[in-house]
């Protein structure tokens, strides 16, 4: 009976498996049933959350049905499965996206209308899972979307943080953090799998012995154990497949509870439980900065161990030998966060399944592939040997063994002692530590960066020694974005307009947007294009009025920078320019300035002082500009608090100008840059990350380039960069910088922005002062082009028509071809 198909079971209840109840009538009926029987409500007495939950459950049924079907198809094909290991995900709201993918938006809207309910209001109720910090987590979710759509047997493993990324509030101009209780109203999308759970050990010691068969064996006697339980969220692809994101929650093991309980110490038992559950309580809010905290390593090991145990179980369930593990699975490591998996897989194979080291190592190295997402030195993970030894004593031994064999290999190749020390998995400078990027590189069959530039720098700089001995291991996969979410769902106006012109093929093949190119000069089309943009800008204006208290004229140029706040991203470069414009207007020299609204959003890591000060500067500049009658007809500044996927979906469609102004060589790729361009914003940017490729695609004349190249930046530093030179030579710049400490910003406090001022004049590690002039010049040019709305719109259309490359569908196909060696399983034509 185990082999009966989903078709069979549905036939026993008089239904067909692929008739998944997509009609208006069935949706309405199911919705009411969920409301009555699951929530005990009738439409007349419901809360908004009841309505949302009932609809989400109605949709989830349909999503799950697709998921079950896909699983069935996949198991028939028996192709290699992909496990995406990521400590972060940012799925965004599920409801709207799932409705689109099921193609039941209109049916659902009508079903609700018959009950006097508004679909959009219900969609608005959803609280998104904030299980990531920024670009890296969002990329993981874009990839889930494309894996599902393309029909690739895949699973995303991660951590079910009870508190996701903090909620950002602005208090007296400063960022303040509140806990994100995203589970407070329940989570209708997840399915708990209490029977899918694994024990994970921590601490203690290892015992080495030779057993009765004269076989060397290692036993790990842990100090404590926790249990990880699977929580599954189905992720639906467009029109077809479903895959799952499997997140682990930590709980206390029963055995531990009982042993203490029997001794009568009830509180101690409870304390153990609480401590175990701490592991998955909260996401570390640092993006591109390591915390070095023990709990973080616990989290990483915990989810990796559960996931690998789960995969080994699946391998056996499918009747495979462990020796075939790497043929059955490929594991993609999303940065080094899950890289302890290399040692854990070795431990499971060698210690628990008694495999020979050599064979285990071959399997391990043919299973993992590693994606690097940043070159920033402060983000490259290292764990002190002493911490690792305390928490994961067996893994430290395994890492030493991997290292000793690896260094031996290098010696045989004749490498110098210096080079060998540089490549070692252990950094011996200062306190000895484990270099996780080296572990991931040595333990993988492929290493990739996330844009052409980044992958080149990875090979020539950060991992240069490795690229020299293993040139074929290194490759590039330029990031992409889930264009269904970031265009079809979030910008219905533009989507409709595009589909009217070129059909809806772009939903599954973004490169068909090319067909829009020939309408770039069509005046009627341009007018429609402008109207859509204006509507989106009105909606964003409303949001900004509600959330930021700033009233913005929607006809202004919407000049937008939204992303994590970091000095290398240079939000403060944009602020220096705004102040320059402000001072010019005050001098009566503002005649060439196009009325502009400068919009910022993004979170700062709670412990990152400079980033928080930059937010304070945004709010100070906003106060100054918005309240100055000489200026506020021409300039407005707003900080939209608590940036999230949900907010992002409102921002990109309304932007005219996208700010991608990081110092060259620092932004690995960026993905916001792609989302803006996809929604018709033009870009002002440096030659950094994927900007380089965006410019190549949209054409030089449609991308406002400024600033130094990566090579120039490095040369500037090599020659001894002196930022004060630019202050002394450029009057405008001097004036703007002095203004920071003039007391006119931040309620007369001269000292408030002094740290920023000093930093820029003395070190300026991201070379803002050197790039300031070319940035301002480009802005000036932009303002002149903006005055010619037809020309601007023409360029906007061209931008959209040429961004086909940046769909995550394309990225995932490249992973399939160049890394995983799997082929998509098409479920529907
Ligand atoms: C990041 C990069 O900073 C960002 O450029 C890139 O787009 C993203 C996804 O590859 O990864 N790396 C880290 S760490 N956080 C990011 O957002």
Note the pLDDT tens digit of each residue in 262-301: 666 777 777 878 888 999 999 999 998 888 899 999 999 9
Same domain, 437 and 549: no
Quote the pLDDT of residue 1. Answer: 42
Same domain, 618 and 700: yes
> What's the DSSP call for residue 380?
S
Q: How far is CA 123 from the centre of its chain?
A: 22
Which residues have C-beta within 8 Å of that of residue 524, sequence separation ≥ 6? none
Between CA 544 and CA 639 the distance in angstroms is 8
- 85 contacts 331 by C-beta, under 8 angstroms: yes
Pocket test for ligand 1, best of 133, 134, 814 (most atoms within 8 A of CB): 134
Element (H, E) at 640: none
Same domain, 316 and 429: yes
Residue 737, domain member (yes or no): no
Between CA 127 and CA 124 the distance in angstroms is 8
Between CA 745 and CA 753 the distance in angstroms is 8
Distance 164 CA to ligand 1 centre (A): 18
Of the candidates 41, 167, 298, 373, the residue annotated as catalytic is: 373
Between CA 222 and CA 597 the distance in angstroms is 58
Find the mean pLDDT for residues 32-42. 94
Of the candidates 34, 394, 564, 810, the residue annotated as catalytic is: 564
The burial of 456, by beta-carbon neighbours within 10 Å (0-12 exposed, 13-18 middle, 19 or more buried), is given as middle
Supply the residue whose CA is at minimum distance from atom 15 of ligand 1. 136
Between CA 761 and CA 773 the distance in angstroms is 16
The burial of 440, by beta-carbon neighbours within 10 Å (0-12 exposed, 13-18 middle, 19 or more buried), is given as buried
Between CA 128 and CA 642 the distance in angstroms is 12
Which residues have C-beta within 8 Å of that of residue 53, sequence separation ≥ 6? 34, 38, 39, 185, 186, 188
pLDDT level of residue 18 (50, 70, 90 thresholds): low
CATH number of the structural domain spanning residue 623: 3.40.50.2000
Cα separations in angstroms, 316 against 33, 248, 311: 40, 21, 9
Quote the pLDDT of residue 215. Answer: 85
Q: Which atom of ligand 1 is nearest to the CA of 454?
A: 5
Which residues have C-beta within 8 Å of that of residue 596, sequence separation ≥ 6? 556, 557, 558, 559, 581, 634, 635, 636, 783
Instruction: Return the SS3 of 555.
Output: coil
Between CA 439 and CA 336 the distance in angstroms is 9
Q: What are phi and psi of 683, to 5 degrees?
A: -115, 135
Residue 769, domain member (yes or no): no
Residue written as token pair 């900080």: 639
Pocket test for ligand 1, best of 88, 136, 339, 806 (most atoms within 8 A of CB): 136
Residue 455, domain member (yes or no): yes
Instruction: Based on DSSP, count helices (H) and strands (E) in the chain, helices before strands.
Output: 34, 22
Between CA 560 and CA 558 the distance in angstroms is 6
Residue written as token pair 């190592």: 361
Buried b (16+ CB within 10 A) or exposed e, 646-671: bbbbbbbbbbbbbbbbbbbbbbbbbb
Over pLDDT 70: what percentage of the chain?
Answer: 97
Distance 136 CA to ligand 1 centre (A): 5
Q: What are phi and psi of 641, to 5 degrees?
A: -75, 155
Average pLDDT, the chain: 95
Cα separations in angstroms, 143 against 162, 481, 668, 693: 23, 8, 17, 19
Supply the residue whose CA is at minimum distance from atom 7 of ligand 1. 670
Ligand 1 pocket residues where CB is under 6 Å: 134-136, 139, 287-288, 335, 373-374, 379, 450, 479, 667-671, 689
> What's the DSSP call for residue 593?
P
Supply the residue whose CA is at minimum distance from atom 9 of ligand 1. 136
Tokens found for residue 762: 């003395």
Same domain, 472 and 541: no
Of the candidates 138, 569, 570, 695, the residue annotated as catalytic is: 569
Pocket test for ligand 1, best of 373, 480, 564, 811 (most atoms within 8 A of CB): 373
Note the pLDDT tens digit of each residue in 426-479: 999 999 999 999 999 999 999 999 999 999 999 999 999 999 999 999 999 999
- 692 contacts 788 by C-beta, under 8 angstroms: no
Of the candidates 459, 603, 675, 802, the residue annotated as catalytic is: 675
Nearest to 166 by CA among 643, 671, 546: 643
Q: Which atom of ligand 1 is nearest to the CA of 689?
A: 5
Between CA 477 and CA 818 the distance in angstroms is 9
Q: Which stretches of 591-709 are DSSP H helices?
A: 609-626, 645-651, 672-678, 691-698
Between CA 771 and CA 782 the distance in angstroms is 17
Nearest to 797 by CA among 523, 545, 577, 563: 523
Same domain, 407 and 396: yes
3-class SS string, 383-433:
EEHHHHHHHCHHHHHHHHHHHHHHHHHHHHCCCCHHHHHHHCCEECCCCCE
- Residue bearing the bigger pLDDT, 14 or 796: 796
Same domain, 272 and 395: yes
Pocket test for ligand 1, best of 141, 458, 668, 675 (most atoms within 8 A of CB): 668
Same domain, 26 and 114: yes
Same domain, 510 and 435: no
- 808 contacts 141 by C-beta, under 8 angstroms: no
Quote the pLDDT of residue 4. Answer: 77
675 is catalytic: yes
Length of the chain, in residues:
829
Residue 248, domain member (yes or no): yes
Cα separations in angstroms, 745 against 480, 599, 612, 641, 761: 39, 18, 16, 20, 18
Tokens found for residue 239: 């029109």
Starting at the edge strand found earlier in the chain, the sheet holding 596-601 runs 635-639, 596-601, 557-562, 657-660, 682-685, 703-705
Taking the CA atoms of 389, 391, 394 and 399 in sequence, report the sign of the dihedral they define. negative
Same domain, 472 and 488: no
Distance 378 CA to ligand 1 centre (A): 14
Between CA 334 and CA 244 the distance in angstroms is 17
Question: In 450-607, at which residue ranges do the beta strands (DSSP E only) sit?
Answer: 474-476, 557-562, 596-601
Q: What spatial distance separates the first Cα and last Cα of the chain, rounded to whole Å?
A: 30
pLDDT level of residue 258 (50, 70, 90 thresholds): low
Find the mean pLDDT for residues 185-200. 98
371 is catalytic: no
Tokens found for residue 227: 């249990």
Quote the pLDDT of residue 305. Answer: 99
Same domain, 58 and 188: no
Q: Which atom of ligand 1 is nearest to the CA of 450?
A: 10
Asked if residue 612 has pLDDT above 70, the reply is yes
Quote the pLDDT of residue 105. Answer: 97
Quote the pLDDT of residue 826. Answer: 66
Biggest CA-to-CA distance, the chain:
92
Quote the pLDDT of residue 705. Answer: 98
Tokens found for residue 393: 């004593």
Note the pLDDT tens digit of each residue in 551-566: 999 999 999 999 999 9
- 187 contacts 160 by C-beta, under 8 angstroms: no
Element (H, E) at 660: strand 657-660
Residue 681, domain member (yes or no): yes
Taking the CA atoms of 527, 530, 536 and 542 in sequence, report the sign of the dihedral they define. negative
Nearest to 65 by CA among 116, 112, 22, 12: 22
Quote the pLDDT of residue 22. Answer: 84
Q: Which of these three, 460, 493, 519, is where a domain ends?
A: 519
551 is catalytic: no
Pocket test for ligand 1, best of 135, 290, 815 (most atoms within 8 A of CB): 135
671 is catalytic: yes
Distance 335 CA to ligand 1 centre (A): 9
- 162 contacts 282 by C-beta, under 8 angstroms: yes
Note the pLDDT tens digit of each residue in 387-412: 999 999 999 999 999 999 999 999 99
* ipTM confidence score: 0.99
Nearest to 497 by CA among 533, 469, 467: 533
Supply the residue whose CA is at minimum distance from atom 12 of ligand 1. 373
Note the pLDDT tens digit of each residue in 338-363: 999 999 999 999 999 999 999 999 99
Same domain, 463 and 489: no
Between CA 778 and CA 795 the distance in angstroms is 16
pLDDT level of residue 786 (50, 70, 90 thresholds): very high
Distance 186 CA to ligand 1 centre (A): 30
Q: Which atom of ligand 1 is nearest to the CA of 670?
A: 7
Asked if residue 504 has pLDDT above 90, the reply is yes
Between CA 264 and CA 546 the distance in angstroms is 55
Between CA 179 and CA 135 the distance in angstroms is 21
Q: Which atom of ligand 1 is nearest to the CA of 138?
A: 9
Between CA 791 and CA 788 the distance in angstroms is 5
pTM of the model as a whole: 0.97
Domain count, the chain: 4
Residue written as token pair 């189905």: 234
Q: What are phi and psi of 65, to 5 degrees?
A: -60, -40
- 394 contacts 206 by C-beta, under 8 angstroms: yes
Asked if residue 38 has pLDDT above 90, the reply is yes
Instruction: Return the SS3 of 154.
Output: strand
Q: Provide the residue range defining the domain that includes 619.
A: 528-710+779-798
- Residue bearing the bigger pLDDT, 43 or 523: 523
- 143 contacts 235 by C-beta, under 8 angstroms: no
Distance 668 CA to ligand 1 centre (A): 6
Quote the pLDDT of residue 214. Answer: 85
Same domain, 548 and 614: yes
**Lowest mean pLDDT segment, chosen from 5-14, 180-189, 523-532:** 5-14
Q: What are phi and psi of 614, to 5 degrees?
A: -65, -40
Quote the pLDDT of residue 263. Answer: 63
Between CA 240 and CA 372 the distance in angstroms is 31
Element (H, E) at 766: none
pLDDT level of residue 161 (50, 70, 90 thresholds): very high
Quote the pLDDT of residue 827. Answer: 54
Q: Which atom of ligand 1 is nearest to the CA of 564?
A: 17
780 is catalytic: no
298 is catalytic: no
Of the candidates 65, 446, 484, 563, the residue annotated as catalytic is: 563
Note the pLDDT tens digit of each residue in 416-426: 999 999 999 99
Distance 475 CA to ligand 1 centre (A): 17
Of the candidates 108, 229, 671, 683, the residue annotated as catalytic is: 671
Cα separations in angstroms, 361 against 302, 339, 400, 450, 604: 22, 15, 14, 27, 40
pLDDT level of residue 256 (50, 70, 90 thresholds): low
């Amino acid at each position: 009976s185990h082999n009966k198909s989903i078709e069979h079971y549905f036939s026993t209840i008089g239904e067909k498996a692929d008739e998944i109840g997509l009609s208006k009538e069935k949706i309405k009926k199911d919705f009411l049933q969920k409301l009555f029987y699951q929530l005990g409500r009738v439409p007349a007495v419901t809360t908004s959350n009841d309505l949302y939950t009932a609809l989400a459950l109605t949709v989830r049924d349909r999503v799950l049905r697709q998921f079950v079907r896909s699983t069935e198809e996949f198991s028939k094909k028996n192709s290699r499965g992909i496990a995406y290991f990521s400590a972060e995900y940012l799925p965004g709201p599920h409801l709207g996206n799932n409705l689109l993918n099921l193609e039941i938006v209109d049916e659902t809207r009508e079903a609700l209308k018959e009950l006097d309910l508004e679909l959009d209001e219900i969609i608005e109720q959803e609280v998104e899972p904030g299980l990531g910090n920024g670009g890296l987590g969002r990329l993981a979710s874009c990839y889930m979307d494309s894996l599902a759509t393309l029909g690739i047997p895949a699973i995303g493993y991660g951590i079910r943080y009870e508190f996701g990324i903090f909620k950002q509030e602005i208090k007296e101009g400063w960022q303040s953090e509140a806990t994100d209780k995203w589970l407070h109203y329940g989570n209708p999308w997840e399915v708990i799998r209490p029977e899918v759970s694994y024990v994970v050990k921590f601490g203690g010691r290892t015992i080495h012995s030779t057993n009765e068969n004269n076989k060397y064996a290692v036993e790990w006697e842990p100090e404590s154990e926790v249990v990880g339980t699977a929580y599954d969220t189905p992720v639906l692809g467009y029109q077809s497949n479903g895959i799952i994101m499997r997140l682990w929650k930590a709980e206390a093991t029963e055995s531990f509870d009982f042993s203490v309980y029997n001794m009568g110490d009830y509180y101690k038992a409870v304390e153990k439980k609480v401590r175990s559950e701490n592991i998955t309580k909260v996401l570390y809010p640092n993006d591109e900065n390591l915390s070095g905290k023990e709990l973080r390593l616990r989290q990483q090991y915990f989810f990796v161990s559960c996931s690998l145990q789960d995969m080994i179980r699946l391998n056996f369930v499918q009747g495979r030998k462990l020796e075939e593990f790497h043929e059955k699975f490929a594991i993609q490591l999303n940065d080094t966060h899950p890289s302890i998996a290399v040692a854990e897989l070795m431990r499971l194979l060698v210690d628990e399944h008694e495999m020979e080291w050599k064979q285990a190592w071959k399997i391990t190295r043919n299973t993992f592939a590693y994606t690097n997402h940043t070159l920033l030195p402060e983000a490259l993970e290292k764990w002190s040997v002493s911490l690792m030894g305390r928490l994961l004593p067996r893994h430290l031994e395994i890492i030493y063994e991997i290292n000793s064999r690896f260094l031996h290999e290098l010696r045989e190749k004749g490498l110098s002692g210096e080079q060998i020390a540089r490549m070692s998995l252990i950094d011996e400078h200062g306190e000895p530590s484990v270099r996780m990027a080296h572990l991931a590189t040595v333990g993988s069959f492929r290493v990739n960066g996330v844009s052409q530039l980044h992958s080149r720098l990875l090979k020539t700089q950060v991992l240069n020694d490795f690229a020299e001995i293993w040139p074929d291991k290194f490759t590039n996969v330029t990031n992409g974005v889930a264009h269904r979410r970031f265009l079809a769902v979030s910008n219905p106006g533009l989507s409709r307009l595009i589909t009217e012109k070129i059909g809806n093929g772009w939903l599954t093949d973004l490169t068909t947007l090319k067909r829009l190119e020939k309408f770039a000069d069509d005046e009627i089309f341009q007018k429609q294009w402008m109207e859509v943009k204006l509507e989106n800008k009105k909606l964003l204006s409303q949001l900004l009025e509600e959330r930021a208290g700033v009233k913005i004229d929607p006809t202004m140029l919407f000049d937008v920078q939204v992303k994590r706040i970091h000095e290398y991203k240079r939000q403060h470069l944009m602020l220096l320019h705004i102040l320059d414009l402000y001072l010019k207007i005050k001098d009566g020299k503002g005649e060439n300035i196009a009325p502009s609204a400068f919009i910022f959003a993004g979170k700062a890591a709670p412990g990152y002082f400079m980033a928080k000060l930059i937010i304070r500067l945004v709010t100070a500049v906003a106060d100054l500009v918005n309240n100055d009658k000489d200026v506020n007809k021409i300039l407005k500044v707003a900080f939209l608090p608590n940036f999230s996927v949900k907010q992002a979906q409102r921002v990109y469609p309304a932007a005219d100008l996208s700010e991608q102004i990081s110092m060259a060589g620092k932004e690995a790729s960026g993905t916001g840059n792609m989302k803006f361009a996809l929604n018709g914003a033009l870009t002002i940017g440096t030659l950094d990350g994927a900007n380089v490729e965006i410019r190549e695609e949209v054409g030089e004349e449609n991308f406002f380039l400024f600033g130094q190249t990566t090579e120039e930046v490095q040369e500037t530093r090599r020659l001894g960069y002196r930022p004060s030179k630019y202050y002394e030579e450029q009057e405008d710049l001097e004036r703007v910088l002095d203004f920071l400490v003039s007391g006119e910003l931040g309620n007369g406090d001269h000292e408030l922005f002094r740290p920023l001022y000093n930093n820029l004049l003395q070190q300026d590690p991201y070379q803002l002062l050197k790039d300031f002039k070319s940035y301002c010049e480009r802005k000036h040019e932009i303002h002149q082009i903006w005055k010619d709305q037809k020309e601007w719109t023409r360029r906007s259309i061209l931008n959209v028509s040429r961004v086909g490359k940046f769909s995550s569908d394309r990225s995932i196909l490249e992973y399939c071809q160049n890394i995983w060696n799997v082929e998509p399983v098409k479920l529907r034509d």
